[in-house]
Amino acid sequence: MPILSAPSHPLSDDEVSRIRNDFPLLASELNGYPLVYLDSGATSQNPVSVMEAEQEYYEQRNAAVHRGAHTLAVEATEAYEDARATIASFVGAAAEEIVFTSNATEALNFVAYCLSNASLGRGGEAARPYALGPGDSIAVTEMEHHANLVPWQELAARTGASLRYIPVDDDGALLLDCAAEIVDASTKVLAFTHVSNVLGTINPVAELVALARSVGALTVLDACQSVPHLAVDVAELDVDFLAFSGHKMLGPTGIGVLYGKSRHLHALPPFLTGGSMITTVTMESSEYLPPPTRFEAGTQRISQAIALASAANYLTETGMDRIEEWERQLGERLVAGLEAIDGVRVLGPRAGLPRIGLASFHVEGVHPHDVGQFLDSRGIAVRVGHHCAQPLHRRLGITASSRASTYLYNTTDEVDAFLAGVAEVRSFFGVSR
């Protein structure tokens, strides 16, 4: 378990070194070097307590939930619903507002498809206000991950609504002056990322939500890069829907979370249908259970939810405010160090401006895949490619980038090892200065 301290006491390298003992993989070597894992923006590592939570479920109470009346089924159901309550508390929601999905991509698609079904007349009068059609618009931003862009492209295609986007400037910051022209009386949905997975930018949620509220639009927040790293409270953010994934916050793969305000979940028709989410079925029609069960058709993600709850407890006990501050320091160290290296362009906010502990960069004259291979040969794991954000890279004038992303278990020494590796890249590949 994490080292417990008062939330006001910041993490230090010494404490992080002790926290690392909870993560077995971090003690590994890669290509003969101590592993420096800087790819938590893609998938974080798991502490022993999370792995044990999932194993303990399978060893002691493996059964279908919400179905059987035998003891194991009752215990499994209690553990599953306790996990839901834990996740709800972690983000400041009510338990009935939390829907478990396979991942955040599915959660975002869930919202889009539920709105699509409402547009087809499903859900009756309660769902009618959620219908879209020709003359309506959906707004996103130019910095979105494909998971918060493609579902809205598809919804627009199915309903006849138009898709608009808020552009970014040369540094990747949203052009908020343009937002009021794009989000207007025709806008039914404003979907945007809380934190860019490429830029590390922390977007002004309050300002964007206020804009959406002024025209009666729903807000959908991609919180994949914020919930693991910042203290997130859905009531404070006041968004209508919010999605995040388990594997980016110390949890297992195969589980994501959709938060939806209770009134929306009660009004919307389901997307996936079948067992577990119905009350009455005849050969002609079906009636559905209240949320969140209405949106969890089939066999639930039981062990994953329990493990995710363990991850949330780990983060809570460590202190999200402490994690946020530590990653702010690491992010500042990353960006300042990269900016000091000749031929390296950092994407997103410059050193000294708010960001999470993530930095994407472009090395002049060297393909990002070669940068990644070189760092890998030194035991340093980073992400390379377009990071599922092709439009953003295109806007910034490049096709791909390299990305280093930190978490609570990374040390300043690891950041320095990474910076030393990047400093060698251009000379290794014979690129003139």
Mean pLDDT computed over every residue of the chain:
95
Report d(CA 349, CA 325) in Å as an integer.
17
Q: How confident is the model at residue 373 (pLDDT cuts 50, 70, 90)?
A: very high
Q: Helix 104-119 and helix 150-159: axis angle, to 10°?
A: 10
Q: How far is residue 154 from each of residues 109, 118, 162, measured CA to CA in Å?
A: 10, 15, 11
Examine the pLDDT at 433 and tell me if it is beyond 60: no
Nearest to 402 by CA among 327, 332, 323, 334: 334
79-115: per-residue pLDDT in tens?
999 999 999 999 999 999 999 999 999 999 999 999 9
13-47+319-428 CATH, one of 1.20.1090.10, 2.30.40.10, 3.90.1150.10, 3.50.50.60: 3.90.1150.10
Catalytic residue (one of 114, 178, 224, 388):
388
Q: Is there a catalytic annotation at residue 388?
A: yes
Q: How far is residue 300 from each of residues 46, 84, 197, measured CA to CA in Å?
A: 22, 12, 28
Report d(CA 292, CA 52) in Å as an integer.
27
232-260: per-residue pLDDT in tens?
999 999 999 999 999 999 999 999 999 99
**How many other C-beta atoms lie within 10 A of the C-beta of residue 364?**
13
pLDDT cut 70: percent of the chain above it: 98
Q: How confident is the model at residue 432 (pLDDT cuts 50, 70, 90)?
A: low
Nearest to 357 by CA among 39, 28, 47: 39
Q: How far is residue 189 from each of residues 60, 179, 360, measured CA to CA in Å?
A: 44, 13, 29
pLDDT cut 90: percent of the chain above it: 94
Give the residues across from 168 on adjacent strands. 174
Question: What is the per-residue pLDDT for 3?
Answer: 41
52-316 CATH, one of 3.10.180.10, 3.30.460.80, 3.40.640.10, 2.70.98.10: 3.40.640.10
Nearest to 130 by CA among 144, 146, 113: 113
317-349: per-residue pLDDT in tens?
999 999 999 999 999 999 999 999 999 999 999
Question: What is the per-residue pLDDT for 351?
Answer: 84
Structural domain spans, the chain: 13-47+319-428, 52-316
Report d(CA 368, CA 384) in Å as an integer.
6
Examine the pLDDT at 1 and tell me if it is beyond 60: no
Secondary-structure percent of the chain, ordered helix, strand, coil, rounded to 5: 45, 15, 40
Question: What is the per-residue pLDDT for 5?
Answer: 40
Instruction: Enter the pTM of the model.
Output: 0.95
Report d(CA 122, CA 159) in Å as an integer.
14
Q: What are the contacts of 206-212 at 24+ separation with CB within 8 A? A: 206/237, 206/238, 207/176, 208/179, 209/237, 209/238, 209/239, 211/179, 211/180, 211/183, 212/183, 212/187
Question: What is the per-residue pLDDT for 10?
Answer: 81
Instruction: Find out whether the peptide bond into 391 is cis, omega within 30 degrees of 0.
Output: no
Question: What is the per-residue pLDDT for 4?
Answer: 41
Examine the pLDDT at 167 and tell me if it is beyond 90: yes
Q: Give the amino acid at 296.
A: E
Question: What is the per-residue pLDDT for 276?
Answer: 87
Beta carbons of 203 and 172 less than 8 angstroms apart: no
